[in-house]
Structure 1
Amino acid sequence: MTSDVSTERMRVRAPELRGRRWLNTGGASLSLAGLRGRIVVLDFWTFCCVNCLHALDELRPVEEEFGDVLVIIGVHSPKFVHEADPAAVEAAVERYGVAHPVLDDPELVTWDAYAARAWPTLAVIDPAGQVVARMAGEGHGPGLASLVRELVAEHEAAGTLRRGDGPYVAPPAPETALRFPGKVVALPGGTFLVSDTAHHQVVELEADLVTERRRFGAGSRGFVDGPADTARFSEPQGLLVLPGGTEVLVADTVNHALRAVDLTTGAVATVAGTGSQLRERVLPGAASAELSSPWDLVWWDGRVVVAMAGPHQLWSFDPASGETTVLAGTTNEGLRDGPPDEAFFAQPSGLAVDDENTLWVADSETSALRRVQRAPAVGAEVGTAVGQGLFEFGHRDGPAAEALLQHPLGVAVLPDGSVAVADTYNGAVRRFDPSTTTVSTLAEGLAEPSDLLVDGDELIVVESAAHRLVRLPIPAGAQVDGAAHTVRRAPTDLSPGAVELRIAFAPPAGQHLDDRFGDPTSLTVAASPPELLVEGAGTATGLTRTLHLSPGVTDGVLQVSVAAASCDDDGGTFAACHRYQQDWGIPVRLAPGADAVLDLDLRAV
């Protein structure tokens, strides 16, 4: 960063790090005093959040480049109740290959101390113990690296920089055949194919779901085509046997690609995606060469449908042409029904198709079961069978309008036409009956079930956190009426009436806002309940907007999505451009005399 920008950096004394326990430190507790002289980056994350997983991937090269001066600390700040479970946090740290210390902060003590508002948020602390930058959302890897270089030069010259090994201590290596398996499909010969996600492989199992027939992939993270024993994946998830039965499509999630496995030769080839994450906003009907966290696959209406978790959309893939096209979703994160080009999804992660050609979607971040129906007379329509929004979840059976799920990742259609849901964070399998519009519970006590497959009168369940596949009979069902949960975040008090929304955005060093073709920003605002927002809803350019909040509503959630584009300073007409995007769901409470301004940071340095 240039010197004139550095003089404008925020400088606030960093609050101490407090939580339940430390992971990846060999049992030691860390303090900012003990880290003095090192650059510290706090990564506020939660393991349900695909944007947080993107940020973890972006931090890896920064960690590697500055390992002797930089300490990254993950502050795990849960959204869902399950994410506060100590064993679940520990499993997530292993599952996603987090190679730095992690502070387990289930009560959001450190989250609140640093005024974090969104997952993920990065806070940068200099060697003197001052917070010098805060960045919300993903896509900040290059800007963070630039800031670290400046801090290194500044504090090395001042004699306040300390080099050496960091406090990370690797945990013991796991010893299970599968490690956090993700999805499963049946193969024509009676065997099953499972994505062995944390081993970065795809495995063929015999009908006993234990005996291995063969593996595809070398077993280390990478993006390499070729023979089965040398090809490399990165956290593969969804699987689909293509028509003909000799080729399987793999959603290679962290490589942001679709890979094809030839079941005859074992060879692996890339059929869509470049290995780089999509950063642009692509709307329904448009095509793109880049993907973003494809999570599941299904054959529907003569094409492959991809649950594209990263941009909160459904895409289609044509195996013949190799073209990928956005099918539904606007990239706004939320729950909104209607035509595909207007619907909101939130991290779709599981897909299935029933005999009536309805596409069922496990929409994980809204804890919802969604459906897409083909209606030729009026066009396709997106609807919600179960689920209430981004911040309402729990374990409750009964009428679908009142039933609650908690971050489901998988879905399957049962023989009677009802829909089974892998209710992942409830450790359960749930059943939605379209004929009665009711929800029941088929099984409980499972360890993060992530996928379901009907095999005769049994369900095969991918029990991801138990590192195994199990069979369950399909029972008549059971009733559960447990407690409902909401996200445990203190609401922001705002005054009813006019409220000024302001988004702070400063391009990183070496970039500028690209306004050659108009305003390069986009701001979308919605509310739950909708009547909270009298004026100011919708999408338009600009980073400020006057909202009018109804005095007749006491509380609710403001849903804000912002995007901005900037380009490199030194590229001229052909400069590389970058897109920054962040979504917030902000619980608000209306109180006369409270603040009439809401400030959010897309990037502040």
Structure 2
Amino acid sequence: MVRVRAPELPHDYDWLNTAQPLSLKQLRGRVVLLDFWTYCCINCLHILPDLHYLEQKYKGCLTVIGVHSAKFDNEKDVENIRQAILRYHIEHPVVVDQGFHLWQHYTVRAWPTVVVIDPEGYVVGAVSGEGKRDFLDELIAKLIEEHKGKGTINVQELNQRLEKENAAIHPLAFPGKVLADQATDSLFIADTGHHRIVITTLAGEVKQVIGNGDASLWDGDFGEAQFSSPQGMAFDREHQCLYVADTDNHSIRKVDLQRQTVETIAGIGHQSRNLRPHQGDAHETALNSPWDVVISGHFLLIAMAGSHQIWALNLVDDALGTLIGTGAEACVDGGTEVATFAQPSGLATDGKELFVADSEGSTIRAVTLDKAPQVRTVCGSGDLFGFGDRDGQGEDVRLQHCMDVEYGGSNQLWIADTYNHKIKRVDLATGICQTLLGNGEPALRDGQGLTASFYEPSGLSMAGNWLFIADTNNHAIRRVHLKTLTVSTLEIPGLCAPQACFDLT
């Protein structure tokens, strides 16, 4: 059998989470995993816990190196990759794969792909997709045992310089979604990076902080409850409860604002591997990275980003299941037998249709609600690689990994065009899409209309004359006066990060 020497890692590329570039030569004696990933990809995010588990189990003789091979143009920027490393708590070294050269040298075909290199520097295997932890665990253990016998193993821990060591601490950390309610003067903020929900007035005065900041799944009162990277929220004003897509816990949580308690109402705390449409009891059915929620009648509609589907939870009898989406990652219009989505990440409704920010397809979709579900494309190419930044009409529009939508009345839908760092609006009748806010520069700058700047905005919500924006990489909530299109940054006096609050006591 011919053994294949692993191609060397380049020293002249950008490296993150390490004090200096690494080489396979200096890593001889260790098992090396190369994780080919791109930070938009939900499948890539799903294997991060597996890689962390393996890193900890074989700390002395395993090195994991992320090879970031960008899909979207925005993901090629080193600073944007650094922010993703911080957002997803990645602690292994990452090399920025310029021009897909390492991808090509290792003949990679899909995200994510993990390549296994033995202690003598030879490629011994590669696996693509999710759910491969047990296979990798067995292979690593076998390689370590084999090379211990040969005397070719090097057991030691490597010193690293993590990006988080130099990162600033903010009161909000990568807020993913925001929800405004004018009637109760409430602004619900998914403080995603701090694993909690913050409630303020629309002017920014803190009302409540829900969750203690630890990333876990724990029900209880507001002070002891725990979330893990919560995203979208839906508010039931009549019953004073908030529904939360608890993304990394693969669960839906219910926040009772009167009793001040949190309970899990759907999901079992770990990821589903079933991509085919199915039904079940909410308390016994596994979910797959729920990213946003919206209330429609007595149903809670769920953007199930991990399985590329829209789900429905019956709030009366706890029945839960797929509403539409075959589970394939694509952008196909039609009924339940054929319709597909590509990582749906944001939801809104006018009561007749459900609007979906279909992020991996950079497309806005709509699902009929008043009759048998049918999917249509509002704007965007419908092509997984048909992204860009172009105003226009229908399929001529180009977006870049749009993460949220908000219905503004009068047939107008607002779009968080996340990777273009802009806010756009589309006319639902004509499909004409226009940029209204943001100059496309990833920055924090207040101003009017196209003079303002955002940095990967991911959440939108409207209340009265104001549009609120979760400006994710700016760790901020922005607000827009809709009559003047003037953007300002919401001040939240007294709010601090969970650990900082703890230290002050």
TM-score, length-normalised on structure 2?
0.88
Partner secondary structure for residue 84 of structure 2: helix
Query: Does residue 56 of the first structure (1) align with residue 48 of the second (2)?
Result: yes
The separation in 2 between residues aligned to 1:375 and 1:316, in whole angstroms, is 14
Alignment of 1:201-280 (within 5 A): 201-209=196-204, 211-242=205-236, 244-280=238-274
Alignment of 1:461-500 (within 5 A): 461-474=469-482
Note if contact 2:465-2:483 (Cα within 8 Å) is conserved in structure 1.
no
Note if contact 1:119-1:136 (Cα within 8 Å) is conserved in structure 2.
yes
Residue of structure 2 equivalent to 1:165: 157
Aligned AA (1:316): A
Query: Does residue 433 of the first structure (1) align with residue 427 of the second (2)?
Result: yes
The separation in 2 between residues aligned to 1:475 and 1:20, in whole angstroms, is 47
Post-superposition offset of 1:191: 1.9
The separation in 2 between residues aligned to 1:106 and 1:81, in whole angstroms, is 12
Residue of structure 2 equivalent to 1:369: 364
Note if contact 1:42-1:74 (Cα within 8 Å) is conserved in structure 2.
yes
| Cα-to-partner distance string for 1:557-582 (whole Å, 9 max, x where unaligned) | xxxxxxxxxxxxxxxxxxxxxxxxxx
Alignment of 1:588-603 (within 5 A): none
The separation in 2 between residues aligned to 1:422 and 1:11, in whole angstroms, is 49
Query: Does residue 91 of the first structure (1) align with residue 108 of the second (2)?
Result: no
Aligned AA (1:337): D
Residue of structure 2 equivalent to 1:448: 456
Alignment of 1:205-604 (within 5 A): 205-209=200-204, 211-242=205-236, 244-283=238-277, 289-355=285-351, 357-374=352-369, 376=371, 379-388=372-381, 389-444=383-438, 445-474=453-482
Post-superposition offset of 1:245: 4.1
The separation in 2 between residues aligned to 1:73 and 1:431, in whole angstroms, is 40
Larger Rg: 1
Note if contact 1:285-1:327 (Cα within 8 Å) is conserved in structure 2.
no
Identity within the alignment, %:
40
> Which of the pair is proportionally richer in strand?
1
Note if contact 1:272-1:323 (Cα within 8 Å) is conserved in structure 2.
no
Partner secondary structure for residue 394 of structure 1: coil
The separation in 1 between residues aligned to 2:323 and 2:251, in whole angstroms, is 17
Residue of structure 2 equivalent to 1:129: 121
The separation in 2 between residues aligned to 1:85 and 1:126, in whole angstroms, is 31
Aligned AA (2:317): S
| C-alpha spacing 1:201/1:326, structure 2 compared with 1 (3 Å) | same
| Cα-to-partner distance string for 1:317-340 (whole Å, 9 max, x where unaligned) | 122332211000001000100002
| Cα-to-partner distance string for 1:37-64 (whole Å, 9 max, x where unaligned) | 1111011111100000001122221111
The separation in 2 between residues aligned to 1:300 and 1:17, in whole angstroms, is 51
Query: Does residue 199 of the first structure (1) align with residue 185 of the second (2)?
Result: no
TM-score, length-normalised on structure 1?
0.74
Query: Does residue 109 of the first structure (1) align with residue 101 of the second (2)?
Result: yes
Structure 1, gaps ≥5 residues long: 1-7, 478-605
Note if contact 1:350-1:409 (Cα within 8 Å) is conserved in structure 2.
yes
The separation in 1 between residues aligned to 2:483 and 2:386, in whole angstroms, is 28
The separation in 2 between residues aligned to 1:470 and 1:281, in whole angstroms, is 36
Note if contact 1:284-1:340 (Cα within 8 Å) is conserved in structure 2.
no
| Cα-to-partner distance string for 1:242-288 (whole Å, 9 max, x where unaligned) | 35242111111111111111212332111111111101233166667
| Cα-to-partner distance string for 1:431-473 (whole Å, 9 max, x where unaligned) | 1112332110111131101011112222111100000111113
Partner secondary structure for residue 198 of structure 1: helix
Note if contact 1:283-1:341 (Cα within 8 Å) is conserved in structure 2.
no
The separation in 2 between residues aligned to 1:54 and 1:277, in whole angstroms, is 9
| C-alpha spacing 1:196/1:108, structure 2 compared with 1 (3 Å) | same
The separation in 2 between residues aligned to 1:254 and 1:97, in whole angstroms, is 12
Residue of structure 2 equivalent to 1:175: 169
Residue of structure 1 equivalent to 2:14: 21
The separation in 2 between residues aligned to 1:181 and 1:397, in whole angstroms, is 27
The separation in 2 between residues aligned to 1:133 and 1:312, in whole angstroms, is 29
Structure 2, gaps ≥5 residues long: 439-452, 486-505
The separation in 2 between residues aligned to 1:174 and 1:74, in whole angstroms, is 23
The separation in 1 between residues aligned to 2:64 and 2:239, in whole angstroms, is 45
| Cα-to-partner distance string for 1:71-129 (whole Å, 9 max, x where unaligned) | 11111110000001121111000000001111112321211111111110000111100
Note if contact 1:51-1:137 (Cα within 8 Å) is conserved in structure 2.
yes
RMSD: 1.8
Aligned AA (1:229): G
The separation in 1 between residues aligned to 2:141 and 2:429, in whole angstroms, is 61
| C-alpha spacing 1:476/1:327, structure 2 compared with 1 (3 Å) | farther
Post-superposition offset of 1:220: 1.8
The separation in 2 between residues aligned to 1:419 and 1:106, in whole angstroms, is 36
Residue of structure 1 equivalent to 2:185: 190
Aligned AA (2:170): T
Aligned AA (1:405): L
Post-superposition offset of 1:166: 2.3
Post-superposition offset of 1:398: 1.5
Q: Which moved more, 1:398-407 or 1:421-430?
A: 398-407
The separation in 2 between residues aligned to 1:226 and 1:66, in whole angstroms, is 35
The separation in 1 between residues aligned to 2:133 and 2:307, in whole angstroms, is 18
Residue of structure 2 equivalent to 1:82: 74
Partner secondary structure for residue 112 of structure 1: helix
Note if contact 1:286-1:326 (Cα within 8 Å) is conserved in structure 2.
no
The separation in 2 between residues aligned to 1:466 and 1:253, in whole angstroms, is 21
Note if contact 1:284-1:330 (Cα within 8 Å) is conserved in structure 2.
no
The separation in 2 between residues aligned to 1:319 and 1:20, in whole angstroms, is 51
The separation in 2 between residues aligned to 1:323 and 1:168, in whole angstroms, is 48
Partner secondary structure for residue 136 of structure 2: helix
| C-alpha spacing 1:267/1:301, structure 2 compared with 1 (3 Å) | closer
Note if contact 1:352-1:359 (Cα within 8 Å) is conserved in structure 2.
yes
Note if contact 2:176-2:192 (Cα within 8 Å) is conserved in structure 1.
yes
Partner secondary structure for residue 342 of structure 1: coil
Aligned AA (2:355): W
Post-superposition offset of 1:476: 8.9
The separation in 2 between residues aligned to 1:177 and 1:245, in whole angstroms, is 29
Q: Aligned residue pairs: how many? A: 464
Residue of structure 1 equivalent to 2:65: 73
Note if contact 1:251-1:258 (Cα within 8 Å) is conserved in structure 2.
yes
Note if contact 2:353-2:370 (Cα within 8 Å) is conserved in structure 1.
no
The separation in 1 between residues aligned to 2:52 and 2:276, in whole angstroms, is 27
Post-superposition offset of 1:213: 2.7
Partner secondary structure for residue 472 of structure 1: strand
